[in-house]
Amino acid sequence: MAKGNCPTPHNGAQYGEIAKTVIMAGDPLRAKLMAERYLENPKLVNQVRNMFAYTGTYKGKEITVMGHGMGIPSIGIYTYELYNFYDVDTIIRVGSCGARQNYVRLGDIVIALGSCTESNYADQFNLQGNFAPIADFYLARKAVDACEKFGYRYHVGNVYSADVFYSEDPRKANWTKMGVLADEMEAPALYLNAARAGKKALVICTVSDHILTGEATTAEQRQNSFTNMMDVAFDII
């Protein structure tokens, strides 16, 4: 499939119904929330597999919000199609993460400048060595500026992106020793797809639980604090 060959097996939107900038969340209901909270005149453009996508305007700019599902394979499919078939320029993921450092607190924002991973997603590119999946610097810098403006606590650095949620591997504790801020499950595929397509990407996460202390946010806290990362995402577009 080539640019403009839409819809795809996973996205029912026609070419031109997806904006150049897309803000994504793992949970499609969070995409629905963003459409209702931020967009003017949102239009539902995809509901294949209930992976909702809405296109509307935010401060006069056309924006699409969309779900991407859980894990590297899922976000890999959706973002590949957005970049390569729908000609999207920028994708920002907003999601949850588990803190790996004591100074990172519940509700803090983590801006994923880079992503360490156990995934073999990069193998398809036939690279001689290990590619470092990283964010677009200018998007990351704008996200820092937005956090400062809003007064949100934030951290910038590496995240660890796992293929396995329920893991019995004790070596995962070593990522903490390497200064990794938090765990999530999608960043490498997004960053690799962006690099291959020559496009822009950023992952912004909210800390929902703490791997070291066992703390976890309540449903009410997640509902209230998770909107902070959305404020940041929409501020930098």
For residue range 26-59, what is the model confidence (pLDDT) as tens digits? 999 999 999 999 999 999 999 999 999 999 999 9
Please report whether residue 76 resides in a domain: yes
d(CA 105, CA 27): 23
Res 1: pLDDT: 59
**Is the residue at 15 inside a domain?**
no
- The number of folded domains in the chain is 1
The CATH number assigned to the domain holding 98 equals 3.40.50.1580
Q: Is residue 151 part of a domain?
A: yes
- Any domain includes 72: yes
Burial class (CB in 10 A: 0-12, 13-18, 19+), 137: exposed
119 falls within a domain: yes
**pLDDT value at residue 221:** 76
Mean pLDDT of all residues belonging to the chain: 96
In a domain, 82, yes or no: yes
* DSSP code, position 68: -
Compute the distance between CA of residue 237 and CA of residue 224 in angstroms, rounded to an integer: 22
What does the pLDDT read at residue 156? 98
Assign 224 a pLDDT band (cuts: 50, 70, 90): low
| CA atoms within a 13 Å half-sphere pointing along the CA-CB vector of 230 | 21
The residue behind tokens 């937005």 is: 146
- If we measure between CA atoms, which residue out of 96, 92, 110, 109 comes closest to residue 23? 92
Rounded distance, CA 175 to CA 158, Å? 10
- Residue 163: which pLDDT band, with cuts at 50, 70 and 90? very high
- Based on the residue annotation, tell me whether 231 is a catalytic residue of this protein: no
Q: Is residue 214 part of a domain?
A: yes
* pLDDT tens, position by position, 69-104: 999 999 999 999 999 999 999 999 999 999 999 999
Q: Provide φ and ψ at 162, rounded to 5°.
A: -100, 155
Range of the structural domain that residue 79 is part of: 21-235
| Contact assessment for residue 190 and residue 81, using Cβ atoms and an 8 Å cutoff | no
CA proximity to 86, closest of 77, 94, 95, 97 = 77
Catalytic residue among 27, 87, 163, 209: 209
Q: What is the chain's percent helix, strand, coil content, to nearest 5? A: 35, 30, 35
Q: For 96-141, what is each residue's pLDDT tens digit?
A: 999 999 999 999 999 999 999 999 999 999 999 999 999 999 999 9
Asked if the model's pLDDT at residue 220 lies above 90, the reply is no
Our CA angle for 28, 32, 33, nearest 5°, is: 115
Whole-structure pTM value: 0.97
Is residue 168 a part of any domain in this protein? Answer: yes
Weakest-pLDDT range from 137-141, 193-197, 214-218? 214-218
Residues 6+ apart with CB under 8 A from 173: none
